[in-house]
Amino acid sequence: MAPPGELSFEQPSGGTLTLRITGSWKLHKDLPSADSLRHQLDQYADLQTIEIDARKVDEWDSGLLIFLGRTLEIAARHDLELQTIGLPDGATRLLQLATAVPEEKGAEREPEQKTFLIHLGDETISFFKGCGDLLEFVGDTVLAITNLVRGKAQYRRSDFALVFESCSGEALPIVTLISFLVGIILAFVGLMQLRFFGAQIFVADLVGIAMFRVMAAIMTGIVMAGRTGGAFAAQLGTMQVNQEIDALKTLGISPMEFLVLPRMLGLTVMMPLLTLYANVMGVIGGAVVAYSEPNITLMEYYHRTVTAVSLWDLGIGLFSSVVFGVIVAFAGCMRGMQCGRSASAVGDATTAAVVTAIVGIIVSTAVITVITSILGV
Amino acid sequence: MSEEPHIVVDNLTMAYGDFVLMRDLSYTINRGDVFIIMGGSGCGKSTMMSVLIGLKAPAKGKVFFDGQDFWGADADTRDRIIRRAGVMYQSGALWSSMTLAENIALPLETYTDLSARQIRDVVRYKLSLVGLAGFEKFYPSEISGGMQKRAGIARAMATDPEILFFDEPSAGLDPVSARRLDDLILELSESLQTTMVVVTHELASIFFIGNNSVFLDASARTMTASGDPKKLLEETRDRTLQLFLTRGEHPQETK
C-alpha cells in the first residue's frame, strides 16, 4: 500500500513556489485540496511561477488530475506560470485533453432569483399562452374534423379499430367494478335514511335516477380519464420525444388527422355505450343491496326503477357522457401533443391530461345540471 | 498491454427464444486492452455487450471477470462485479430529469464517500475530458445528440471504473470530437490501465485504437476472427472480414 497522498509547500525562492505532492493520489475523501494553495498565494507577493514536484507520487487516478486542474485554474487567476517536475506522462496527456476544449463561458448558469412580481407576471403570461394553445388546438381539431367530413382526412382505419378496442372491451372490467360498487354505495346510503320513513322501496328511484342521470356518466368519465386519457397523453408524448410526430409532419401528414382524430372520435363514440352499460351495472348493484331488505323483491325493485327513470334521465346521462368523452380525449391528445422532449415531460403531460379531464368533467357536470334545472327537465 | 486475462468469454451462445443469434464465441480480453467488438449491422454486437454487462443472460456458455463466473453467480455478486465497470449506451441514456452534473454525480454519491465539493470537482473534470466543460447545469434535452453521447461517456467513467464499455461511441459525433474521443480512450487505457470494450463499426476508430478484437459474422452466426485489427487486415483470408475491413472495396487476392 502506498502512503496516503500529501501536499507540502516549500519556502518560495526566486519568485517560484514549489508544491510537493507525494504518495497515493487516488480519488479519496481525505485527499488534500488545492484550496490551501490560495492561502499560500495570499501570504507571498511577487510570485511568478508555481512548480509542482510530482516525483514522489506512487499511484494516481482522477484524484491527481482534479488537483492539477484546480491548481491550473488558481494559477491562471493569479497570472502565474505553472511548471511540473516528474509528472507521469499519462497525467500530462490527460490534463491536455481536459483543457483542450475551453470552458463554454456563456453556458454557465446561475440560479435565477425571482421576485414576487416577476413570478406573477410569468404566471399570467403562461396562463394566457395556455389559453391561446387551447384555442389553437380546438381550431386544429375542428379543421381535422372538417377534413374528415369532406373525406379528405389522412388516417388509418386500423387506428380507429385500436382505439375502439381499448375504449370498449378492455375498459369493461374496471367500468363494471366501479359502477357496480357505486350502485351499492348509493343504495346503502339511501336505505339508511329511507328506513326512517318506512319508504325502503324508493331506494330503486334513488339509485336509478342518480345512476342514469349523472353518476354513471361521471364515474365512467373519471375511469376513462385515468385509463385512456392518460394513455393518450403518454403515447403522443413519447412520440413527440422520439420525433415520430416530426416525421409525420415532414411527410406532409397532419398529426391532428392521423393521431388525434381516431382517438377523439373513438372515445366519443364509445363513451355513451360504456355509460349505458354502467347504468345497468349500477342498478344491479343497487338491487343487490335492496334485495337484502326483508320486504323488497327483485320484481318490485325492477318495476320501481322502470317507473322512476324517465327517458329524459337517460338522455341527459348519455348527453353528458358524450361531452365527457370529448373532454377526456381532448385533454389527453392536447397534453400529449404539447409534450416537451424528455421522459419527465411525458410524465407531466400525463398528469396534466388526467387533471384537466377530471376538472373538465366536474365543471361540465355543474353546467349541465344548472341548465337542465332551469329548463325543468 | 499486459497478458493478464480480464474478461474471458467461453463457448458462448446468444439467442432470442429459439432464434440463435451467435454461437461458439470464445475470446479473451486482457487487462488494459482496447478491445473492439466488430461486425456488420444486426450481427449481434450490441447483444454481445448486453451479455457482458449483465442485461441479457446467454443461452449457453460462460463469461468470467477476473476468473469469476459472471452468469453463474447470484444477482448480488453480479451487481458487485458490474459495479467495477462503466457503460456508455448508444444514445447516451442520460436521465432526462437530471442536469448533466447530477447525472455524473449520482454514481459518485452512491458508491463513494467523497464530499460534495470533491464530487463537484470530479464532475467538472470528467465533463472537461469530453469537451463539455461549463455545461454542468444543462438538462439532456437542452444539448445536442452528440453532446448527450459525450456526457454519457463522462457518466460512464465517473467512478474511474476498471472496465469501460462503449456502444457505438463515435457514431453521430463530428470528426474532431470522434478523434478526441479515440484519444481519450487510448489515454485512459494506457495511463490508468482501464480495459476498454468498444462496440463499433467505424473503421478509422477500429484501426486507431483497437489492439484486440473479435469479428462477428452475421451469415456464419459465429465469430470468424479475433486479434489485433491491423494484423487481421494483413493476414485474414476470410472474404467477409476482408470486405468489412476495407469498406467493401475489392480485397487483395488471397494467395
pLDDT per position as a tens digit, B2-46: 678 999 999 999 998 888 899 899 999 999 899 999 988 888 888
In a domain, A199, yes or no: yes
Residues of chain A contacting B178 with CB distance shorter than 8 Å = none
Same domain, yes or no, for A172 and A293?
yes
Same domain, yes or no, for A98 and A158?
no
A97 to B124: CB separation less than 8 angstroms, yes or no: no
- ∠ at Cα A92 (A89, A95), nearest 5°? 150
State the average pLDDT over residues A172-181: 96
Same domain, yes or no, for A183 and A276?
yes
> Which grid cell sits at B253?
487476392
In a domain, A46, yes or no: yes
In a domain, A278, yes or no: yes
Chain B touched by A48 (CB under 8 Å) = no
Which of residues B219 and A104 earns the better pLDDT score? Answer: B219
Same domain, yes or no, for A300 and A189?
yes
pLDDT of residue A107: 62
Task: For residues A181 and A315, give the distance between their C-alpha atoms in angstroms, rounded to a whole number.
Answer: 23
Interface residues on B facing A, Cβ-Cβ cutoff 8 A: 95-97, 112-115, 117-118, 121-122, 124-126, 128-129, 131-135, 137-141, 160, 180, 183-184, 187-188, 190-192
Residue closest to A70 by CA, chosen among A42, A39, A35, A106: A35
Same domain, yes or no, for A278 and A358?
yes
The pLDDT tens digits for A211-226 are 999 999 999 999 999 9
In a domain, A179, yes or no: yes
Is the pLDDT assigned to residue A286 strictly greater than 60?
Answer: yes
In angstroms, the separation between the Cα of residue B225 and the nearest Cα of chain A is 32
pLDDT of residue B255: 43
B129 to A94: CB separation less than 8 angstroms, yes or no: yes
Q: Phi/psi of residue A322, each to 5°?
A: -65, -45
Is the pLDDT assigned to residue B1 strictly greater than 80?
Answer: no
Which of residues A214 and B112 earns the better pLDDT score? Answer: A214
Looking at residue A31, which CATH number applies to its domain? 3.30.750.24
Chain B touched by A45 (CB under 8 Å) = no
In a domain, A13, yes or no: yes
B96 to A107: CB separation less than 8 angstroms, yes or no: no
Percentage, residues of chain A above pLDDT 70: 98
What percent of chain A is helix, strand and coil (3-state, nearest 5)? 70, 10, 20
Chain B touched by A118 (CB under 8 Å) = no
In a domain, A232, yes or no: yes
Same domain, yes or no, for A74 and A203?
no
State the average pLDDT over residues A61-78: 87
In a domain, A145, yes or no: no
Residues 6+ apart with CB under 8 A from A119: none
Q: How far is CA B188 from CA A275, B33, B90, in A?
A: 65, 11, 20
Same domain, yes or no, for A77 and A158?
no
Same domain, yes or no, for A344 and A205?
yes
Chain B touched by A342 (CB under 8 Å) = yes
Domain that holds residue A51: 6-104
Q: Do B135 and B100 meet the contact criterion of CB atoms below 8 Å apart? A: yes
Domain end marker among A104, A120, A138:
A104
Residue closest to B202 by CA, chosen among B21, B27, B36, B35: B36
Residues 6+ apart with CB under 8 A from A91: A54, A60, A64, A65, A68, B191
Domain end marker among A88, A104, A120:
A104
Domain end marker among A62, A81, A104:
A104
Is the pLDDT assigned to residue B252 strictly greater than 70?
Answer: no
Name the residue among A27, A340, A343 with its Cβ closest to that of B114: A27
State the DSSP string of B86-101.
Answer: EEE-TT----TTS-HH
Task: For residues A268 and A333, give the distance between their C-alpha atoms in angstroms, rounded to a whole number.
Answer: 13
Nearest CA in chain B to A60: B192
Q: What's the distance, CA B248 to chain centroid?
A: 24
DSSP A3: P
Same domain, yes or no, for A69 and A204?
no
Same domain, yes or no, for A321 and A188?
yes
Residues of chain A contacting B134 with CB distance shorter than 8 Å = 103-105, 107-108
Name the residue among B96, B128, B129 with its Cβ closest to that of A343: B96
Structural domains in chain A (count): 2
pLDDT of residue A110: 65
Give the lowest-confidence range in A108-117, A140-149, B85-94: A108-117
The pLDDT tens digits for B138-166 are 988 888 888 888 899 999 999 889 999 99
Same domain, yes or no, for A74 and A219?
no
Same domain, yes or no, for A63 and A184?
no
Task: For residues A364 and A342, give the distance between their C-alpha atoms in angstroms, rounded to a whole number.
Answer: 32
In a domain, A1, yes or no: no
Secondary element (H or E) of residue A180:
helix A172-197
Name the residue among B113, B118, B129 with its Cβ closest to that of A97: B129
Tell me the count of A-B CB pairs closer than 8 A: 92
Nearest CA in chain A to B185: A94
Longest distance between any two alpha carbons in chain A, whole Å: 111
> Which grid cell sits at A145?
374534423
> Which grid cell sits at B21?
443469434
Prediction ipTM score: 0.74
B97 to A31: CB separation less than 8 angstroms, yes or no: no
Which of residues A68 and A45 earns the better pLDDT score? Answer: A68
Task: For residues B4 and B115, give the distance between their C-alpha atoms in angstroms, rounded to a whole number.
Answer: 35
> Which grid cell sits at A143?
379543421
- ∠ at Cα B89 (B13, B44), nearest 5°? 25
Chain B touched by A348 (CB under 8 Å) = no
CA atoms in the 13 A half-sphere facing the CB of B165: 22
Name the residue among A31, A66, A107 with its Cβ closest to that of B125: A66
